[in-house]
Amino acid sequence: MISTAVFSMISRRHHLALACLAAFGLGGADARAQDGPLVRPPENGFPLDRPTAPEAPSETKDGAKKKSDKPTGMRVGEETANSYVIDDRQSVRVPVYPDDPDSPMWEISPHVAFAQAQRQQRPLFLLFTGSWNAKCLALSEQVFTTKSFNQYVKDNAIVCYINYPRNITDAIPAARAIKEKFKVMGYPTLLIFDPDGNVDQEIRGYNTDKPVEYFNRLKYAAWPLLERIAARKRQLRARGYRDWTNTEGRTFFGRFVDRDDQVATLLGADGRAWPVEIAKLGEADRALVHSFPSVGEIAALREKTGHPPEISARK
């Protein structure tokens, strides 16, 4: 995950991602996308709720610098002020194990991570940490950068971390709000959420140089939730749900609803319908979608026969 060097490289971008989420609510329905019509599929082919950041201050037409939106005042630290200057439109995701080309990623946007967990029907491991804290660094180096943890996350979970400054007053409001919401008292703290955004387990602290003990503790804590999720997914699979994969390897657990020539509609486990660009589905999933009649074909059959046809995949 997050060695000292990586912490330094992405800490500022992490705060930029959180700055976009100052008004978010986390957990349960708050973590879900808002209701409303979806005009077009997202660029990566799956609905992932990536936050959009405001533009950074730039020059006006006469060449003068625009007034900075950075907050100022005696109690505003430099890190807090800089976190409001947005230079990236999307958060930067960090591989769990960089040597693995298929490594899962550490999300640094809680909003994105909650959405991923819900739509993939996986637990979310949310880590509260600090690059200045010796126990946090030891946990990262001794557990979160190992091949074993990489494979475990690949098979089971979504992971996200929030890197806090030594002085909590230097953290941006959104970071302070989420820490207060879940009553996190110290670092490192790992919260395990179910796919609906509810806290299921909490793991506090780390005994340095005891990585096997911590990893076993994490797996033991997550096991009952993984069993409940597996049972629920078995029930949903019996109703036509499955894992869909796009060309980037991202998955979405849902059921096919309908399609036109370019877009398919999938129903998520939360009951929400999402448009997915067919061209950006994996090859096998594209073939499956095209095996179903399109909305236009169904309408033509309805007009011809006077009643809606039974929809099934073509042989």
For 45-68, the pLDDT digits (tens) are: 444 333 322 233 334 444 444 444
Which class in CATH covers the domain with range 239-305? mainly beta
- Above 70 in pLDDT, residue 100? yes
3-state secondary structure the chain: CCCHHHHHHHHHHHHHHHHCCCCCCCCHHHHCCCCCCCCCCCCCCCCCCCCCCCCCCCECCCCCECCCCCCCCCCCCHHHHHCCCCCCCCCCCEECCCCCCCCCEEECCHHHHHHHHHHHCCCEEEEEECCCCHHHHHHHHHHHCCHHHHHHHHHHCEEEEEECCCCHHHCCHHHHHHHHHCCCCCCCEEEEECCCCCEEEEEECCCCCCHHHHHHHHHHHHHHHHHHHHHHHHHHHCCCCEEEEECCCCEEEEEEEEECCCEEEEEECCCCEEEEEHHHECHHHHHHHHCCCCHHHHHHHHHHHCCCCCCCCCC
What are the tens digits of pLDDT across the range 204-234? 999 999 999 999 999 999 999 999 999 999 9
Confidence band for 249, pLDDT divided at 50, 70 and 90: confident
Structure tokens at 278: 């067919």
Pair 44, 246: CB distance under 8 Å: yes
Sorted by where each begins, the domain ranges of the chain are 4-236, 239-305
d(CA 206, CA 188): 7
pLDDT at 294: 83
More confident residue, 77 or 133: 133
Among 84-98, 180-194, 204-218, 244-258, the range scoring the smallest mean pLDDT is 84-98
In the chain, the amino acid numbered 277 is: E
Strands of the sheet containing 251-259, edge to edge, are: 242-245, 251-259, 263-268, 273-277
CATH number, domain 4-236: 3.40.30.10
* Closest to 204 (Cα-Cα) out of 124, 135, 152: 135
Write down the residue that tokens 């980037």 correspond to: 248
What are the tens digits of pLDDT across the range 163-205? 999 999 999 899 999 999 999 999 999 999 999 999 999 999 9
d(CA 117, CA 100): 22
Rounded to a whole number of angstroms, the CA Rg of the chain reads 22
* Closest to 143 (Cα-Cα) out of 78, 73, 216, 199: 216
d(CA 280, CA 219): 34
For the chain, what percent of residues have pLDDT higher than 70? 65
pLDDT at 314: 47
Beta-carbon contacts of residue 77 (< 8 Å; ≥ 6 apart): 165, 167, 169, 170
Pair 170, 236: CB distance under 8 Å: no
d(CA 152, CA 123): 12
